[in-house]
């Protein structure tokens, strides 16, 4: 019997750990089930989408005035003097160099991971998009914030508007970063949503927005990284246990108050701090270590952490998967922000007495996660999400 071919539309570009691991997990889960699933490679298309739609295109930058040779060397000399005589400038310069080296190693590790673990199509572009819309039996909108409105052209792609009319369309856990859609955006999205045979989203906020656009049922399902259990992640990537305890920090925001909270937490727990750096300000904690940290290393760091401090949604999910105690720092000040809503939707779904830790909050107020009860709740959520996914796929046969 010929396998059904499945195209997954999600983000595969860049070096975001959660983005790449959720894409891997959904594609792998479908292939292990007996489908022939492929992630559409949207790297080139992304740049094209930004250039063809005025709503998405950034303003044209003004070309800088070229420096004369004298001005160039004078500027270099001034920077060298600042670095030489200012401890603060010297520290910033050193951090930038360390971060550059770490970032290059990270890029190399990500490219190797994608080549080995991501089953991707050839490059999708506006020129061949119609052909891609006919190539597969089933099209699945994957997860991450792909349903956030960016432009009409981007919506046509991420809401599967490019697919042939006779094809089957399913959404699995897309997320919407908008607080609401405008009337014009709703008019664009309503007919695109109507073409789906099965709809699901990742959080309560997205569910409410999509339900405004359709009479079809909208299911709430888990992020693709939760489709695999802790044991599956450990087995598939041969994760190794280490003995030295540490507080793991995976922080995307840049709030100055973060460091104060983190140091207080490390002191309270009596643990050294280990960072997964994402910006130059964090490199002072690396102590010159620029070892590559690709997706596999990311998983192993979470697997071995004694405690996790993060403001990342996927950092939270992997903390839960590996049964780690953790604290969520509040990256966005507005409590009504859709980004914050993702966390509270997750807390409600898991009956988790947690809250995002704001600047005004004490680090001593962090709530302990009740394992193994949460692990059991996660397993039930996983089971229901897999049931939705495979029932939607089986209806196409």
CATH of the domain at 25: 3.40.50.2000
Considering the domain architecture, whether residues 38 and 170 belong to the same structural domain is answered as yes
Considering the domain architecture, whether residues 301 and 348 belong to the same structural domain is answered as yes
Residue 83's region, left for phi above 0, alpha for psi from -120 to 50, else beta, is alpha
Considering the domain architecture, whether residues 250 and 273 belong to the same structural domain is answered as yes
The pLDDT of residue 390 is 97
d(CA 198, CA 216): 8
Flag whether 147 is in a domain.
yes
The token pair at 128 is 């061949």
Q: How far is CA 18 from CA 12, 33, 90, in A?
A: 10, 22, 33
Structural domain that includes position 13: 5-56+117-227+382-394
Flag whether 186 is in a domain.
yes
Considering the domain architecture, whether residues 217 and 198 belong to the same structural domain is answered as yes
Distance, C-alpha 307 to centroid of its chain: 21
Are 42 and 153 spatial neighbours (Cβ–Cβ below 8 Å)? Answer: no
Considering the domain architecture, whether residues 153 and 219 belong to the same structural domain is answered as yes
CB burial readout 124-143, b (16+ within 10 A) else e: beeeebeebbebbbbbbbbb
Are 213 and 149 spatial neighbours (Cβ–Cβ below 8 Å)? Answer: no
Considering the domain architecture, whether residues 135 and 220 belong to the same structural domain is answered as yes
CATH code of 349's domain: 3.40.50
Considering the domain architecture, whether residues 39 and 179 belong to the same structural domain is answered as yes
The pLDDT of residue 309 is 95
Degrees to nearest 5, angle at CA 393 with 190 and 347: 70
| Helix runs in the chain, H state only | 17-32, 43-52, 69-85, 87-117, 129-135, 152-158, 183-194, 204-211, 230-236, 257-269, 295-304, 313-321, 338-349, 373-394
d(CA 49, CA 235): 38
Considering the domain architecture, whether residues 305 and 169 belong to the same structural domain is answered as no
- State the Rg of the chain over Cα: 23
Q: Which residues are paired to 328 by β-bridges?
A: 310
The token pair at 198 is 């099965």
Considering the domain architecture, whether residues 220 and 352 belong to the same structural domain is answered as no
The pLDDT of residue 228 is 98
pLDDT tens by residue, 3-31: 999 999 999 988 999 999 999 999 999 99
Are 12 and 43 spatial neighbours (Cβ–Cβ below 8 Å)? Answer: yes
Flag whether 71 is in a domain.
no
Are 173 and 141 spatial neighbours (Cβ–Cβ below 8 Å)? Answer: no
d(CA 305, CA 324): 7
HSE-CB for 237 with a 13 A CA cutoff: 26
Are 159 and 141 spatial neighbours (Cβ–Cβ below 8 Å)? Answer: yes
The pLDDT of residue 366 is 74
Query: How many structural domains are present in the chain?
Result: 2
Considering the domain architecture, whether residues 343 and 389 belong to the same structural domain is answered as no
Q: How far is CA 152 from CA 54, 122, 161, in A?
A: 10, 24, 10
Q: How far is CA 299 from CA 155, 211, 248, 250, 266, in A?
A: 32, 35, 12, 12, 21
Nearest CA to 230 out of 349, 318, 304 is that of 318
Q: Which residues are paired to 169 by β-bridges?
A: 139
Considering the domain architecture, whether residues 199 and 242 belong to the same structural domain is answered as no
Flag whether 196 is in a domain.
yes
Flag whether 344 is in a domain.
yes
The token pair at 318 is 């992997």
pLDDT tens by residue, 160-215: 999 999 999 999 999 998 889 999 999 999 999 999 999 999 999 999 999 999 99
- Distance in angstroms between the alpha carbons of the first and the last residue of the chain: 12
Flag whether 73 is in a domain.
no
pLDDT beneath 50, residues of the chain: 54-64, 288
Flag whether 363 is in a domain.
yes
Are 229 and 382 spatial neighbours (Cβ–Cβ below 8 Å)? Answer: yes
Considering the domain architecture, whether residues 34 and 145 belong to the same structural domain is answered as yes
Flag whether 99 is in a domain.
no
pTM of the predicted model as reported, rounded to 2 decimal places: 0.88
């Amino acid at each position: 019997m010929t396998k059904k071919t499945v195209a997954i539309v999600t983000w595969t570009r860049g070096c975001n750990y959660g983005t790449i691991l959720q894409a891997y997990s959904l594609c792998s889960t479908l292939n292990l089930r007996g489908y022939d699933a492929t992630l559409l490679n949207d790297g080139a298309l992304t740049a094209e989408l930004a250039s063809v739609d005025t709503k998405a295109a950034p303003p044209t930058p003004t070309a800088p005035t070229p420096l004369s040779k004298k001005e160039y060397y004078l500027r270099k000399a001034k920077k060298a003097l600042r670095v030489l005589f200012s401890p603060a400038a010297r520290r910033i310069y050193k951090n930038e160099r360390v971060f550059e080296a770490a970032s290059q190693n990270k890029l190399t590790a990500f490219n190797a991971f994608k080549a080995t673990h991501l089953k991707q199509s050839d490059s999708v572009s506006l020129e061949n998009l119609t052909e891609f819309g006919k190539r597969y039996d089933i099209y699945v909108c994957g997860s991450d914030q792909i349903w956030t409105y960016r432009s009409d052209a981007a919506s046509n792609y991420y809401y599967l508007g490019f697919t042939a009319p006779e094809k089957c369309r399913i959404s699995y856990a897309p997320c919407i970063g908008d607080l609401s859609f405008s009337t014009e955006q709703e008019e664009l999205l309503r007919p695109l949503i109507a073409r789906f045979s099965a709809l699901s989203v990742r959080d309560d906020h997205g569910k409410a927005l999509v339900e405004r656009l359709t009479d079809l049922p909208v299911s709430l399902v888990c992020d693709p990284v939760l489709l695999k259990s802790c044991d599956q992640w450990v087995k598939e990537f041969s994760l190794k246990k280490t003995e030295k305890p540490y507080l793991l920090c995976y922080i995307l925001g840049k709030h100055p108050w973060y460091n104060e909270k983190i140091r207080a937490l490390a002191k309270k727990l009596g643990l050294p701090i280990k960072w997964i750096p994402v910006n130059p300000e964090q490199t002072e904690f690396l102590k010159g270590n620029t070892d590559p940290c690709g997706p596999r290393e990311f998983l192993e760091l979470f697997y071995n952490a004694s405690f996790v401090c993060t403001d990342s949604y996927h950092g939270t999910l992997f903390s839960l998967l590996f049964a780690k105690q953790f604290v969520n720092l509040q990256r966005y000040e507005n409590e009504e922000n859709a980004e914050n809503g993702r966390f509270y939707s997750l807390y409600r779904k898991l009956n988790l007495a947690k809250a995002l830790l704001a600047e005004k909050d004490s680090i001593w107020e962090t709530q302990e996660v009740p394992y193994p009860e949460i692990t059991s709740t996660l397993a039930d959520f996983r089971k229901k999400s897999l049931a939705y996914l495979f029932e939607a796929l089986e209806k196409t046969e």
